Structure 1
């Protein structure tokens, strides 16, 4: 544990992140230490520094490193490291918007599409954040994110994905929304339109009231109704969206339970400065084991130490 962790100059009780700004921060000193560590391929030092600085501080380190050495820090990490540790430290070096754009690009790269990673990002980010991620995607990949998503999806699922990317908060009437969703489920074939329109254009407080009212009226959980009435990717999309409306921390904790490294790293890097403490608490409640202990069972070596540093402590 970094001894300066609890002395962070802008830490306040109630913050929900695990990675916080380093209090005694000197980017030039960090850059020089990293330069020496890269030459020696000293992974311990690289992990200690890069996992104990906020993202904003890492950006300053990378800038200072380039000014001092005339070299790119990411390129240096690629040369000195390999495998999962290399991938993790490179992810930590990316600014947050670039990192989310990177995750979306990776979910669409190659054969097949990782639909649930697309959903995870689109369902847990605000409309404003998604606009910024779209701009970052255009900047780094020279492509329009909405067009890319349309090209990777089809049918009602594509409509849902695009609506999520362009989500907004429009005032609605709770009882009327319950009525529309209930009516959409009562025909021989359920209507997708009302679900897409309502669930992507209301705030979470409003939607939680709508979903609760729908469950009271129908006598069944929303998940059960969706399983009966919809199929395929669209069913998956609605189920993920409903879970993220009701409790995003529980949804993300369940994703961590897959134990797939890209998923685990993606969530931990994305959420370590915002709400990883909440996700950790949800994980403990779901599994009976702390995320810190679960990581120790799954990983080893320097990669494990980096993951534990981001997780930060036992629950």
Structure 2
């Protein structure tokens, strides 16, 4: 008995056929990637490798080019492996893209971080925490180390919220200078549920939100990392809606960023919430915005992913 469903085997075979001959039949690939769930797509990828001996992302890489190829490849990879690959390329060669490290690692659950670390070790035979530590410096290095070291509280764990609120105030707005390590330890180690309550009580007690304090007390990459963490907790769909807009704002589209956001947020419930937040903030649909910034098969796949969400 096959380990794969009849549908997954049929889709794997359809993909095999679409790669035959001169020129890939991209419509078949787009149709499958936009009409199957994430779980189904990963099963199709496993079925493809089992039946044809080559990974689907490798095959897509050899058949599809440009942004279309990058997006399609990302969609057939296991999420943790995709994130590990993104982090690897952000630190490869001269210089490190700190913005990418922040984008990928902020707002992750302990389980997601653990999976990304395992995938990185499996793919590159290196310890992700050690590599990030060697490629970053200062307060950002300290914060990312906290996120990666596995010390963050499990979801739902609540500590003394009032104490953390007071500690953060005294480490920042309540003194001359800033005790950066206090912010790094609390924001980096506490659970989402706990930090959400800290954010709420901080605003109640001091008359403005924690985001305001972070913007006043920090600068540079650590400011971006801490404020992004808080923004993702305050309103996660809006946070990602703003990142989507950032990827397309100004002259030229940051396609690398747009592809990463589409791959990470391709789950229908998540994408639906982001679409609603985007519409409320910018007065236009996310699909319409993406359609205006992309073209060809890349446009069809990107818009198809967004439209697939209810």
- Range class of TM-score, shorter chain: 0.7 to 0.9
Q: CA deviation at 1:25?
A: 5.4
Name the residue aligned to 2:32. Answer: 49
Distance in 1, matches of 2:55 and 2:119, equals 20
Name the residue aligned to 2:20. Answer: 39
1:212 to 200, 203, 212: 200
Distance in 2, matches of 1:285 and 1:147, equals 41
Name the residue aligned to 1:148. Answer: 131
Retained in 1: the 8 A contact 2:80–2:119? yes
Q: Deviations over 1:50-84 (max 9, x none)?
A: 33223333333334334444444333323322111
Retained in 1: the 8 A contact 2:57–2:74? no
**Runs of at least 5 residues in structure 1 that lack an aligned partner in the other structure:** 1-23
The 5 Å alignment of 1:1-315 reads: 26-40=7-21, 41-165=24-148, 166=150, 167-169=152-154, 171-185=158-172, 186-258=174-246, 259=248, 260-273=254-267, 275-312=270-307
Q: Please, what is the CA RMSD of the aligned residues?
A: 2.1
Distance in 1, matches of 2:106 and 2:294, equals 28
Distance 1:248 1:25, change over 3 A: farther
Q: CA deviation at 1:246?
A: 1.4
Distance 1:217 1:303, change over 3 A: same
Number of residue equivalences: 292
Retained in 1: the 8 A contact 2:121–2:127? yes
Retained in 2: the 8 A contact 1:290–1:314? no
Q: TM-score if structure 2 supplies the norm length?
A: 0.86
Q: Deviations over 1:246-294 (max 9, x none)?
A: 1222111111002222222212211212611111111111211111111
Q: CA deviation at 1:128?
A: 1.6
Retained in 1: the 8 A contact 2:26–2:297? yes
1:198 alignment partner, SS class: helix
Q: TM-score if structure 1 supplies the norm length?
A: 0.85
Distance in 2, matches of 1:265 and 1:216, equals 38
Q: CA deviation at 1:206?
A: 2.3
**Runs of at least 5 residues in structure 2 that lack an aligned partner in the other structure:** 249-253
Distance in 2, matches of 1:134 and 1:314, equals 29
Name the residue aligned to 1:19. Answer: none
Retained in 2: the 8 A contact 1:55–1:95? no
